[in-house]
Amino acid sequence: MGPEGQSGYLEPGEFDMTVGYRHQYSFRHFVGDVEQKQRIQIGNQVMNKINLMDYNLTYQLTPRWSLNLDVPLLLASRRSNNSAFTTSTQGLGDVIVTAQTWLWSPQKARKGNVAIGFGFMAPTGRADTMNNVDRFDGKGAQPTLLDYSIQPGSGGWGIVLRWNTFRRVGTSSALYFNGNYTATPENTNSVRRSTTGSPLTQYVSISDQYLLQAGFAHPIQKVRGLSISFGPRMEGVPAKDLFGDNLGFRRPGYAISLEPGFQYSRAKNMFSFSVGKAIHRDRTRSIPDRMTGGHGDAAFADYVWLASYSFRFGKPSNGEHN
């Protein structure tokens, strides 16, 4: 969805502050694209609850260039349905810094444009959080490493590529295609998740990740500032990274969802909400899986709930340079 959804492009000297929220509850296990329904029937499914807050600050340097800072905060829990204990974590995630440019001048490109962003992800979030867990074995509470799926951080650096595109259709509707890809050159972090089993998966993999969104946005004429949107959403973790080795433990896979939503903008404020309903989930084979002939499983959510509020502030500098 284009910048017209929030009173046009940012002007040089302006800031945009966005607070985003994501919630998902993963409990359906898949091996490949086949759901392991027996996990729920026998009561040993693993359940993850993810609540992620993301604070994004954008500063517009010139009509085309901007700087972006993303600071995530995670609150998550994990338990098996047949287990007596729950593990949980909260804390700062991996901070992302990017620079972004519009390919065409905003003064001229009112019907469509493409923004490309490049930057890095820093390992500011902990990847080795532990809980004191009583396993009722007579030993009392013992420090237990949390599963990597609810760790605030990845334990490694990343190279971030982002893109945002929009194209006006008719007098007021728009097509959009947005996405991001984080490439992680390092192989594994220093977190040893297991001292038994295959040496290929004793340490946690620092995995690439990606998100793709496309769709159609249309304003509601009777309510000024309100628009609705609809389109597919795909996100996941590949089995093979763009750079570096692919060993270590990871649960690669992807989910494809259909995502209806709406945006409401008024002056320099905007609120958005959407929900993605999964229509296809696939836990693909990791490189260690392929080497050993195995195929692990992973838990997926039925829905992903997304909301955000953003506002603009600062005095435009009326700069004319690009």
User: Which domains, from first to last, does the chain contain?
Assistant: 3-313 (2.40.128.130)
Long-range contacts of 289-292 (CB under 8 A, 24+ apart): 290/239, 291/200, 292/198, 292/200
Asked whether the predicted pLDDT for residue 1 surpasses 70, the reply is no
What pLDDT score does 6 carry?
Answer: 44
Going by pLDDT thresholds of 50, 70 and 90, the confidence category of residue 97 is very high
Do 12 and 316 meet the contact criterion of CB atoms below 8 Å apart? yes
Going by pLDDT thresholds of 50, 70 and 90, the confidence category of residue 5 is very low
What pLDDT score does 318 carry?
Answer: 61
% the chain with pLDDT above 70: 96
CA distance 67 to 55: 14
Residue pLDDT, tens place only, 238-284: 999 999 999 999 999 999 999 999 999 999 999 999 999 999 999 99
Q: Alpha-carbon Rg of the chain, whole angstroms?
A: 21
CA distance 300 to 126: 23
Going by pLDDT thresholds of 50, 70 and 90, the confidence category of residue 169 is very high
Q: Region 17-44: what's the mean pLDDT? A: 97
Secondary structure of residue 165 in the 3-state scheme: strand
Going by pLDDT thresholds of 50, 70 and 90, the confidence category of residue 131 is very high
Secondary structure of residue 6 in the 3-state scheme: helix
Q: Region 100-104: what's the mean pLDDT? A: 97
Asked whether the predicted pLDDT for residue 308 surpasses 70, the reply is yes
What pLDDT score does 2 carry?
Answer: 55
% the chain with pLDDT above 90: 85
Asked whether the predicted pLDDT for residue 137 surpasses 90, the reply is no
Asked whether the predicted pLDDT for residue 21 surpasses 90, the reply is yes
More confident residue, 75 or 111: 75
More confident residue, 252 or 9: 252
Residues near 304 by Cβ (< 8 Å), separated by ≥ 6? 22, 23, 24, 233, 257, 275, 276, 278
What pLDDT score does 4 carry?
Answer: 46
In order of 62, 97, 107, 204, the CA distances from 113 in angstroms are 16, 22, 11, 39
Q: Region 276-302: what's the mean pLDDT? A: 97
Q: Region 80-97: what's the mean pLDDT? A: 93
Asked whether the predicted pLDDT for residue 15 surpasses 80, the reply is yes
> Taking Cα atoms as reference points, which of 73, 72, 70, 135 lies closest to residue 98?
70
Residue pLDDT, tens place only, 191-234: 999 888 788 999 999 999 999 999 999 999 999 999 999 999 99
> Taking Cα atoms as reference points, which of 76, 75, 67, 63 lies closest to residue 26?
76
